[in-house]
Structure formats: C-alpha cells, structure tokens
Amino acid sequence: MALPKPISIATAERICKAHAADQVIIYARTVGEGCGEHVTTYGKDKVHCAAAARIGDAIGRQVVKPVEELLSRAVKAEQELSAHKAVHNIGLPQEGYRELVWREAHEFYEAGGFDLVAHLERQRAFSHKTFGPGARTKGVIDHIRKELAEIEAQPDDIEEWVDVIILAFDGAWRAGWEPAKIVEAITTKQKKNEARKWPDWRTADPEKAIEHLRHPIDQPDRNEGRSDVVVPDDIARILVDALGVDREKVTADARLSDDLGADSLDAIEILTNIEMERDISISDTEAEAIVTVGDLASIVQMKAA
C-alpha cells in the first residue's frame, strides 16, 4: 500500500497557530490502486496532543470504512457508465444512450452517494430531452433573469436559488462543456477566489456586491525589479514538489498564487519546508508580504545573511 506524501507536524503546527486552534487533525488519502492514508495530528500542549491523537485513531475506524464503501459504489457506477458509452459507440441511438446515462446516474444518486458529475449527466439528459438540443443561450439567460426576480420576491425560498444553479449548469453544458469540465471549473474558481484578497465584509455595504481587491493601475508592479533575483535551487525544488509545476515556471517574477496555483495550505507547506531545510523562521508578517517567488527568495536570502 503506497501512502500519500506525509504532511509534517510542523505544517499542522503552523495551521494550528494560524487559526488559533487547540488541535489540528489532517487526514490525507490516495485512492485507486496502491491506495493508502496518512493522519497527522497536533495539539498546542500535551493534553491537546493526546486528544488529537485519539481523534486521529478514531478517523481510521469510523471514517475510512464508510468512505471506501462509497468509493466502491462510485467505481461501479463509473464502470457501468463506461459500458453504456461503449454500447453507444457501436450504434446505440443518442436518445437511448442519454436515457441509460440518466438511469445510471439516478440509481447512483438514490443509493446514497452524490457524485456531481453523474448528477450533471442526469440533468443534461433530462434537459436535452425536455428542452431540446443546442446552445439556447438567450433563452437560458432570459430564464435566469426571471428566476432572479423571483429570488428578490422570495429570498428565503431555497427552490428559487436552486433554479438559478440548475439553469447555470444547463447553460454551461449547452455551451459545449462536459460535466467533468464543469466540476473542474467550479473547483478551480473556488481555489482562485480563496487566493484573492477581499475587503472586510463588516465594513462593506450589505446591499452591494463585495468584490475582490484589485491593484490600482498606477500602483507599482510588485514584480518590478524581481527578475534579477536568483531563485536558489532548494527553494525551486520545494516549490516544484509542493505545487507540481515545471521547474522552468519557477521564476523570480512568478506569482505564487496566480501563476503557480498555490493556495493557503500550499503556502504553509512551502514555508514550513523552507524553514526546516534552511533552519530559519519566517514570521507571519513576512509571509503575508510574499507574492512572488522573488519575494520569497529575497526573504530567505535576507535570513541567511
């Protein structure tokens, strides 16, 4: 059984301090062939360490088995969907294929395992059969506008909000996007939003949209002057390992979040590994000022001086 890359206790400690927590339990898992799991726990003192360790042990007993059963059902559903597609490829009518996909997705949903990709297959089959093929972009937008008006009239009605969600999904697949790509776009967008800077919601107008902070046009580019910073090999290696990017992308002016895709947990892992390898300490204030690889390299070099 191949275990996922262990998450260090130092990483758990940093998360604990960053969120003012008493205990942190991290459960990492790989699935498929050679699957395995790894639990890292941390407590701010001996009592909390012991409690976190007990919770970590309980996760293995109470969570792993149910998850494995759910994954087993998901794999079975995927195999049967693939079989249906194989039938379709040798001549099953398109409408018949969509009916089979819908039925399989419905059976999986009713079995208690919710798979968004399978659900979107189900929705697409229904929409295609009921409203016909084609983009129908203007029609979808018109319908969304009507639903938004209904939300304004009944903001506490969950069905009105769900109508907009369904219509948005409908517009996406009609624009040519497969369910798996739609789900991927959702997770990618969420990751991007989490990496952005946002204003304090407590001082924002509740009647207005809260938009992420943008650099003013006349603000000097943070990357300016960083292109001549040399990125040490050990820092580049840590970034490549943590983010799964190619070495040539790790340049001084590359932005950790926007260009290399680092999120908050990636940043914690990167800083922790650098601190351990370099035997230095990077404060939270210094960490918050890091935007580019050059920023990171400069701070590390300053610490080593």
Q: How confident is the model at residue 52 (pLDDT cuts 50, 70, 90)?
A: confident
Q: How confident is the model at residue 93 (pLDDT cuts 50, 70, 90)?
A: very low
Q: How confident is the model at residue 91 (pLDDT cuts 50, 70, 90)?
A: very low
pLDDT of residue 281 exceeding 80? yes
Measured CA to CA, the distance from residue 289 to residue 263 in angstroms comes to 15
Which amino acid makes up residue 159? E
Residue range 207-236, pLDDT digits in tens: 888 887 764 333 344 444 445 578 899 999
Q: How confident is the model at residue 75 (pLDDT cuts 50, 70, 90)?
A: low
Residue 166: CB atoms within 10 A of its CB come to 15
Is 200 a catalytic site residue? no
Measured CA to CA, the distance from residue 33 to residue 140 in angstroms comes to 42
Measured CA to CA, the distance from residue 269 to residue 8 in angstroms comes to 8
Name all domains of the chain by residue range, CATH numbers in brackets: 9-62 (no CATH), 76-191 (no CATH), 233-304 (1.10.1200.10)
Measured CA to CA, the distance from residue 25 to residue 31 in angstroms comes to 20
pLDDT of residue 41 exceeding 60? yes
Given 22, 241, 253, 263, which residue is catalytic? Answer: 263
